[in-house]
C-alpha cells in the first residue's frame, strides 16, 4: 500500500517532518530570545535584572541542548534509529 509522498508502507501522518518543523521554529525562537536577552543584558544597569536575563539565556541554551539530545536519547532507549 502506498502512503503519502509515494512511499511504500503505512499511510499516515509524517511525524518526523512535524518534529523537524517544530525544531526549526524552536531554534528561531531561541535565537530571537537570546538576541533580545543579550541586548537587555548589555543595556541594563540594574544588577537584579541583569541576573534575570542571564538566567533566561542559560535556560534557552539548556532548552536547545535538550531539544537536540532528545532524539539521541530516544534512539538509545528504543534500540534503533528514531527521528533522524
In a domain, 48, yes or no: yes
pLDDT tens by residue, 18-29: 888 999 999 999
Could you give phi then psi for residue 2, rounded to 5 degrees?
Answer: -90, 135
If one counts every other C-beta atom within 10 angstroms of the C-beta of residue 62, the result is 10
pLDDT tens by residue, 44-82: 999 999 999 999 999 999 999 999 998 888 878 877 765
37: confidence class by pLDDT, cuts 50, 70, 90: very high
Give the pLDDT of residue 1.
Answer: 46
User: Percentage helix, strand, coil, to 5, in the chain?
Assistant: 75, 0, 20
The model carries a pTM of 0.72
Domain hosting 44: range is 16-78
Angle at the Cα of 37 from the Cα atoms of 67 and 70, rounded to 5 degrees:
5
Cα separation of 11 and 19, whole Å?
Answer: 18
Alpha helix stretches (DSSP H) within 1-84: 15-43, 47-78
Q: How many domains in the chain? A: 1
Amino acid at each position: 500500500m502506498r502512503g503519502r509522498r509515494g512511499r511504500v508502507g503505512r499511510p499516515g501522518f509524517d511525524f518526523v517532518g512535524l518534529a523537524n518543523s517544530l525544531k526549526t521554529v524552536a531554534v528561531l525562537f531561541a535565537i530571537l530570545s537570546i538576541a533580545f536577552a543579550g541586548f537587555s543584558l548589555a543595556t541594563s544597569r540594574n544588577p537584579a535584572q541583569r541576573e534575570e536575563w542571564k538566567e533566561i539565556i542559560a535556560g534557552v541554551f539548556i532548552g536547545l541542548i535538550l531539544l537536540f539530545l532528545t532524539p539521541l536519547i530516544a534512539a538509545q532507549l528504543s534500540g534503533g534509529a528514531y527521528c533522524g
